[in-house]
Amino acid sequence: MIGTFFGLLSILIIEAFSATVIQPSQGSIAPANASAVQSQPLILANASSNGTTSANDLAITCDHKLGHNLRVTSCKSIFPLLRAGTEQYIFADRSSSPSLRYDIGLPYRVQGLDGTCFVEILVDPGKASGQMSLTEFGQAAFTLFDTCVVHYGYGGVAANVGRDNNIQIVIGRLKPSVNCKKRTPGPPWKSCSDILATMDVSLENVTFGRRGGPGVGETLPFFIQSTDSKCRVKVDSTTQAISTSSWYEIWEGINSIAYMCVRQTKLGGQASKLGSLKTLTLEMSLQEAGVDLSNATLLNASSGPEDLLLLSAGAQNFSSVEAS
């Protein structure tokens, strides 16, 4: 009976959605079947990236485990940031074998205005890489957004994305603890994106403490800065206690500051409540001339590739080109 119900629900949603890609609005969330989706992920087959059924259909799964009560306005604010383009790019985990050529290293995550909604690109498990154009990324993300966030308020995953169907797009909810500093000049976005594109993102546990010694992997405070020295991230703690975290969690915090403060308001900012004890802090700021870091521990990020996915001056905007 349950299987029949989900089958009928999938067909109804696909038929209604296939007519057109609907421009979402805050009032368009209608979780009439929220209890059904809450019980288990709702798998929607045959929802294509242009709103019609096709041979290259997306496989969309809406799942409350990726977040519920997502704000439409927050998720919608992501799309004006995205570029449009038909050129194919290769995506792969940045920790892949050096012999694997790729254009954009993963993880790669775009966050909305308030940082609570994100869109992230993944490669299918078991696959080394995937190919996708910027427009395919935008279309798949928009279809996922309209299907899961607008209709249910949930996060979700779109699979079978790109030329080789090896890409997955995830949309979900975050609860970043970030404060943008109104009196702190913001560093250049390009400099900070170098850090995001090249820093360590390993998942292994690392111990952080203010005093070096047994049991401390990284002595606080230390700084991560871009190659051009214009963007600096200070990693510190509010206590003397040793806290455990991972470079991936540090990357997540830096990503949140970068989008919520540097990208949106051109300010510096601080993230807090990180690590096992919720005592680690991150502060992103402009590296001001004359600041002496000769005695500081520096982790220099290498110069990353051009940010191909996000809009720059003169680039076509995905929202205006594809989603209007």
Residue 19 pLDDT class (50, 70, 90 cuts): very low
pTM for the structure as a whole:
0.77
- Which pLDDT does position 69 carry in this prediction? 92
What tens digit of pLDDT does each residue of 191-217 get?
998 899 888 999 999 999 987 767 889
In the chain, where are the structural domains located?
2-175, 178-300
d(CA 125, CA 77): 29
**Pair 136, 107: CB distance under 8 Å:** no
Q: Kindly indicate the confidence band of residue 296, based on its pLDDT and cuts at 50, 70 and 90.
A: low
Separation of alpha carbons 238 and 241, rounded Å: 9
One DSSP character per residue, 264-310 reads HHSEEEEEEEETTTT-EEEEEEE--TT---TTS-EEEPPPPPP--SB
